[in-house]
Structure 1
Amino acid sequence: MKLIHAAAALALSSALIGLSAAPAGAKEITVAVSSTFTTMDPYDATDTLSYSAAKTMYEGLFGFDKDMKLQNVLAESYTVSPDGLVYTVKLRKGVKFHDGTEFQADAVKANFDRVTNKANALRRYSLYYNIAKTEVVDPYTVKFTLHEPFSAFVNQLGHASGAMICPNAIKQYPGKQLAFHPCGTGPFKVAEYNPSEILHVVKNPDYWRKGLPKIDGMTFKPVPENSTRVAMLRTGEAQFIYPVPPEQVKTLEGEPNLTITKTPSIIERYVAFNTQIAPFNNPKVRQALNYAVNKTALAKVAFNGLADPVTGVAPKGVEFADVYGAWPYDPKKARELLKEAGYPNGFTATLWSLYNHTTAQKVIQFLQQQFAQVGVKVSVMAMEAGQRTSYLLKKPKDSQLKMVYAGWSSSTGELDWALRPLLATASWAPVAVNYGYYSNKVLDENFREALRTTDKAKKQALYSSAQKAVWEDCPWIYLVTEQNVSGQAKNVSGFYIQPDGGFEFSGVDVK
C-alpha cells in the first residue's frame, strides 16, 4: 500500500477545518506532549504516545485503569476452555460506533482478522499472532481460538492497541489510509489530525457511558522542546503537559496555579546493541559498556534525580519481574573486558536515539562522554518519530544499527510483553522491536512454556531462569527507570499518567 505522507495529512486537516474550530464557550483542554505521533491506527502503533492519544477515539474489549488494573470495557465477561485454547467473550450491548452503526461481534472479528493477517504487515501482529481464528457466536458473543495456550491473553486484549475500529472504515480505507480516518466507539471523535502538529478531538454525543465525557474536546500538540512545553503550561496555552522536564520540576512546584504529579513508572530506558555484528556480538564488549556507564550519575544529569538505576531486565512493578540490583559502575573493569575481547584501544561506533526531545539529547551526550572514558568513541544521532521506520525496521543484512537508546513499558502489565517483543528471536525487526537481533534459547523456550501454564509458581520459575540468562548476557546497557512527571492547571482533574506512560482520561474535567 502507498503511504500517506504529510501533504495528505495536511489536505485532510484542511478538509476537517470546519470541525476543528471549538465553539464559543466550549470546555476544552490542550495537552502538550514530547513527541510527534506515528499513527492513529492503534494496530500499527508501537509508541505509547500514539496509541494513548488514540484512546480518545477508540476502546477495546478490556482495558486498564489509572493504576494498570485490568477492567472490562466493551466486554462484559469472558470464559476460558479447560485446555486454555478458547476464550469466549460476552459483549456490551447498546454501544455505537462514531458512524452510527452498532458495535457487535462482527466488528470484533473484522478487527482481529485484520491484525492477524500477516499480509497486512501491521506492527501489532506480534501481539496477536497467536489467535488462530475469531468467530461470531451470536451478535453479542465472540470466540477466540488460539494456536496454543496463552495465559496472558486477556491482558493482551486489554492493551490499547486492541481497539475496536468501525468495520465500515476498515473496508473503506485500506492500508495506511485508515490512520487518517479514525472511527471507534470512544468518548471523542476526530476533528483534526496531522501527525507532526495536532490531534484535535471533540465530544461524542452518543457515547455509551452516561455523563461522559465531561468536556467538549481535547487537543494534543507535539512539543519536543522542553522549555516550550513548560512555557505553554505557564501561559495557559496548555492545561496539561507530559512529561515535565526534570530540571523544571522544582520551579513549577512553586507556582500556585499548577499541580505537578510524580508517580512510579514501569518505563525502562536502555541501549540496545546490534548483537549480530562486531564488536557487539561479543558478550564481553556488551558487559564492558554496562560497567562503563554510571547510572546514578545519569539519573541526576539527564533526569534531575527523577529516575532510578535499572535493577532487572524488566522494571519493578511488572508482574513476574526479578530484581538483581543495578549493574555496577566500574570503568576499570570495563577497560579490562574490552582488552580481553580484543579491543585494548577501544573502537568507534554510532549511537542513535529513538527520541529527539531535550532529555534524550542529554542522555546520549552523557553516554558519549562515558564511553570515551574507556576508549570507545561514538557519534550520536537523535531521531524524529518519522525516521524510526526507515532507520530501525530493517532486516539484519540491511541494518546500519550499532547501538540505539530506547525505552519500553509493558502495557499489558505482565512480563511477557515487557520482554518478548524486544528480546525474543521471533521478534527481530522488522517483525517487532528486537532492533538488535538478539537471540537467547533460554528466553525463547522458557517464555513459550510460561505462557502455556496458569500455575504461577511454575511460570515464575521459568521467567526467572530466562531473566537471569538475559541479565548476564547483556543485550542492552541497563540504564534507568523513570518516574512519570506530569504538570497540569489546578482547575483540571481526572487526567492521569498510567505506570506504563499511557493516558487515562475517561473522567477528565475542567472547573
Structure 2
Amino acid sequence: MKKKIIALFLASAMALSMAACGSKAPASSASGTGSAAAGQKAAAPDQDLVIGFNLDISTLDPHQVADTLSMSVQSTMYEPLVTFDENQKIVPALAESWKAESDNLTYTFKLRKGVKFHDGTEFNAAAFKANYDRCMKDQKLRQYRTVSKWQSVETPDDYTVVVKLKEPNCTFINKMTMFEIVSPKALAQGTAYLAKNPDGTGAYQFKERVEGDHVTVTPFAGYWNGKPAVNSITFKAVPEDGARVAMLQTGEADYIYPMPSTQAPTVDGKKDIKVVTSPSAIMRYVTLNTNLPQLKDKRVRQAMNYAIDKKAYIKTIFNGYASEVHSCYPSTVQYYSEQAPYDFNLEKAKSLMKEAGYENGFELTMWGDNTTNEMKGMQFVEQQLAQIGIKVKVTPMEPNTLSSMISVEPDKAKVQLWYVNWSPSSFDADGAMRSILAYSMIPPASANTAYYNNPEFDKTLDEALAATDTAKLTDLYAKAQKLVWEDAPWIFLGSDQVIAGEKTYVSGIYLAPDGKLDVTKAKLS
C-alpha cells in the first residue's frame, strides 16, 4: 500500500485547533459540503482501501457477533439469505426468493445456484442446514436465540429451504438478515478454528488479523455477484479521535468511522475530504443496575434523567450532530412511540431524590469504552449527576475487557452504571428492546445490565412477537415503550447521527442507520 505515514504532531495540532473552534451547528445532509464536495476530486494513490474504526472488532464468528463494527467486517466475507437495501427494505441475497404461508409459521426460501464458499465448496440447502444445526447445538452462540424459535429446517431439494417456526414471529424475516452462512467444511473444524479462519460466500476473503490492530480481506475470485473493485480492504482500529482524523488527512486512511463530530465541520471540504452524515438507529444511554439498593426506587432513576441536560449533552458531546429521543429507541426504528420528555429540571430531580430518601445522594461507578468520545460522554454525565449529590467514578476500559466484566452470572455482577449505545441491525422494535431490556436477557445471556425486571413489559414483548396485525403491533410496542420510559432503567441520552469521513476518490460505501458499513461495492477512482 502506498499510504503516507502519520505525522504524530498532526493529531496534537488538530486537537488544539479544535479547542479554538466555535460550536458551529451542522447541516443535516447525506453528503459533505465545501470545496472537495463541490467537485474537486483527487486520484486514489492505490487500490488498497484502508478504513479507520474507533474500536477493534470483537469476533470473526458471524454466529456470535453483536456489534456493528464487527458486522461491517464480517459482511465482506459472509452473506445471509436476505439482506437490507439502502432504504431498509428486505431484498434477496443468497436466496433468490421467499414466501410465507398463511399460517405465518412456514417460510420457504429458494436458494441461489452457482454460489461457492471461499474454500471452493458449494453453497446449497445442506450448507444452510449445517449452520442451523451448529447454532442449535451451542446455546452460547448469539444466533442460538434466533434459531431456538424455529421448529425445524427442511431441505426438500438442494436449493430449497423450509423453515418452520414454533409460533408466529413478526421479526423472523428481519432477523434472517443477520443469519450469515458459514462453509460446512469450516464448521466441521470447530469454533476455535472458525474464529481465526472465516470462510463464507462474500465478495472478499480473509487474509489476516492482528488483534487490536487490523483485519485485512482480499477479493474472492469466485464471487457469484461480480468481481470486487479494490485489491484489498484493511479495517484498522484507531481509538484516538485526533489520530483517526489525521490518518484521513495524510492519506494513511481512505475512510474513517466514526468521524468525531467536533472535528467534522473543520475538515469537511479540506484536503480532498468529504464528511457524510445521516440519521441513525443508535440509542445512547446509561444502564442503571436496578439490583443496587440505591437504584431500586424508580424515583431515583427518574431523578437521574431529569438531572441530565440533554440539549447540552448533544451540543457538548456531538457538536449538534444528534437529537433527543423520547423513548427507549430512535424514530428510525419500527413502531417508535414518543413519550413525555424528561426535560432538564434540577428542582424536580432534587425533589424526587428527597422523596426516595436520598437527599444527600450516594456514590456510584460508571463503566464505558476507553475511546475519546465515550470518555467525554461519561465525564459529562458525571458532572451532571453531581448536581443532585450523586458522585460518579468514571472507569473507562478497553472494549473486550469491559465485555468480559459484564458477561458474568448475576451473583458476580459488579456493573453499576454502563455508558453505552445500542442499535438494532434488524431495524425492528423487538430487536431494539428485547436483548437489552427483557429480564431473560440479563448477563451473561445478553446486555440487560440494568437487570430490569418488569413481567408486564416482558409479556407485552412476547405478545407483540406473535402478532401480525399492524394496529395491534403499534399498540403493543407503544405500551412496551411507555413501561420502560416510566420505569427508567436507563438514563435516556439521545441518538447521534452516523458521521463518517472519506476521501473524495472513494465511492460505493454505504453507512447504514445502525452504524454498519457495507463496503462490498467500494471503489477507489
Distance 1:176 1:120, change over 3 A: farther
Letter in 1 for 2:118: H
Counterpart mapping for 1:247-258 below 5 A: 247-258=262-273
Of the three residues 464, 479, 484, the one matched with 1:450 is 464
| Preserved contact between residue 127 and residue 184 of structure 2 (Cα < 8 Å) | yes
Q: Which amino acid aligns with 2:346?
A: P
Q: Give the conservation status (yes or no) of the 8 Å contact 1:126–1:421.
A: no
- Per the alignment, do residues 273 and 460 of structure 1 end up closer, same or farther by CA in structure 2, a change over 3 Å counting? same
Question: Per-residue deviation at 1:308?
Answer: 1.1
**Which residue does the alignment assign to 2:65?**
45
**Which residue of structure 1 lines up, in the alignment, with residue 20 of structure 2?**
none
230-239 or 446-455: bigger deviation: 446-455
Q: CA deviation at 1:116?
A: 2.6
Matched, 1:289 2:304: yes
Where 1:279 maps in the other structure, the secondary structure is: helix
Instruction: Please give the alpha-carbon distance, in whole angstroms, between the structure 1 residues aligned to 2:200 and 2:105.
Output: 28
How many Å separate the matches in 2 of 1:59 and 1:26?
27
Give the match for residue 345 of structure 1: 360
Distance 1:221 1:229 in 2: 10
**Aligned-partner SS, 2:295:** coil
Instruction: Tell me the residue number matched to 1:169.
Output: 186
Between the aligned partners of 1:497 and 1:359, the Cα distance in structure 2 is: 19
- Per-residue CA distance 1:148-185 (angstroms, 9 max, x = gap): 110210110012xx11111100101x224311110000
Displacement of 1:491 in angstroms is: 0.4
The answer to whether the Cα contact below 8 Å between 1:113 and 1:134 also exists between their aligned partners in 2 is: no
2:146 to 127, 136, 139: 127
Instruction: Spell out, residue by residue over 1:308-359, the C-alpha distance to the aligned partner (whole angstroms, 9 max, x if none).
Output: 1222111011011112254211111111111111111000010111x21111
Code of the aligned partner of 1:467? Q
Cα distance in 2 between the residues matched to 1:326 and 1:309? 9
Q: Does 1:199 align with 2:219?
A: no
Alignment of 1:246 with 2:246, yes or no, is no
Alignment of 1:446-485 (within 5 A): 446-485=460-499
Residues in 2 aligned to 1:494 and 1:133: alpha-carbon distance in whole angstroms: 38
Q: Amino acid of the residue matched to residue 507 of structure 2?
A: S
Partner of 1:261: 276
Note closer, same or farther for the CA distance 1:378–1:508 as it changes in structure 2 (3 Å cut): same
Tell me if the contact between 1:352 and 1:382 (Cα under 8 Å) persists in the aligned partners. Answer: yes
2: CA distance, partners of 1:389 / 1:178: 20
Partner-residue secondary structure (3-state), 1:463 = helix
| Alignment map for 1:273-422 (pairs within 5 Å) | 273-324=288-339, 326-353=341-368, 355-422=369-436
Please state how far the C-alpha of 1:213 moved relative to its aligned partner.
1.1
Amino acid at match of 2:149: N
In 1: Cα distance, 2:341 partner to 2:311 partner: 9
The residue aligned with 2:112 is 92
Asked if structure 1 preserves the Cα contact closer than 8 Å seen for 2:249 and 2:271, the reply is no
Q: For residues 226 and 101 of structure 1, what CA distance do their matches in structure 2 show?
A: 42
- Structure 1 counterpart of 2:168, from 149, 152, 158: 149
Alignment gaps of 5+ in structure 1? 1-24
Name the amino acid aligned to 1:128.
V
Alignment partner for residue 27 of structure 1, among 47, 50, 57? 47
Equivalent position SS for 1:479: strand
Which residue of the partner structure matches residue 197 of structure 2?
181
1:184-226 alpha-carbon deviations (Å, 9 max, x no partner)? 000001111123111100011110002x311111000000000
| Contact 1:291 1:330 (C-alpha < 8 Å) held by counterparts | yes
Q: Which amino acid aligns with 2:143?
A: R
**2:130 aligned residue:** 110
1:66–1:504 CA contact under 8 A, matched in 2: no
Task: State the Cα distance separating 1:256 from its structure 2 match.
Answer: 4.5
Q: Is residue 39–residue 195 contact of structure 1 (8 Å, CA) maintained in 2?
A: no
Q: For 1:141, give the aligned amino acid.
A: T
CA contact (8 A) 1:32 1:221 kept: yes
Query: Shift of the alpha carbon at 1:494?
Result: 0.4
SS at match of 2:343: coil
Letter in 2 for 1:143: V
Deviation of 1:52 (Å): 1.5
- 1:26 CA displacement: 6.1
Equivalent-residue separation in structure 1 for 2:269 and 2:112 (angstroms) = 46
Pick one of 416, 419, 429 that aligns with 2:443.
429
Secondary structure of residue in 2 paired with 1:60: coil
Q: Deviation per CA, 1:234-290, whole angstroms, max 9, x where unpaired?
A: 000000000111111111114051111111101010001111221111111110100
How many residues align structurally? 481
Residues 31-90 of structure 1: CA distance to partner in whole angstroms, max 9, x if unpaired? 000001110112111111111111110111111123322111001111223222221111
- The residue matched to 1:202 in structure 2 has which SS? strand
In structure 1, C-alpha distance between the alignment counterparts of 2:146 and 2:517, rounded to whole Å: 20
2: distance between equivalents of 1:116 and 1:81? 24
Query: How far does residue 447 in structure 1 lie from its aligned partner after superposition?
Result: 1.4
Q: Percent identity, aligned pairs only?
A: 40
Q: TM-score, normalised by structure 2?
A: 0.89
Q: Is the CA contact (8 Å cut-off) linking 2:206 and 2:216 kept in structure 1?
A: yes
SS of aligned partner of 1:189 = strand
CA distance in 1, matches of 2:201, 2:79: 6
Any residues of structure 2 matched to 1:60-79 within 5 Å, and which?
60-79=80-99
Offset of residue 462 of structure 1: 1.0
Distance in 1 between residues matched to 2:182 and 2:335, nearest whole Å? 32
Mapped contact 1:262–1:483 kept (Cα < 8 A): yes
Residue number in structure 1 paired with 2:11: none
- Aligned-residue CA RMSD (Å): 1.3
In structure 2, do the counterparts of structure 1 residues 204 and 325 end up closer, same or farther at CA, with 3 Å as the change threshold? farther
Contact 1:115–1:128 (Cα < 8 Å) also in 2: yes
Q: How far off its partner does 1:125 sit?
A: 2.4
Aligned partners of 2:211, 2:322: CA distance in 1, in Å? 29
1 CA distance for matches of 2:500 and 2:113? 36
Secondary structure, aligned partner of 1:488: strand
Which stretch of the first structure deviates more once superposed, 140-149 or 266-275?
Answer: 140-149
Give the counterpart letter for 1:158 in structure 2.
T
2:154, 2:46 → 1: CA distance? 43
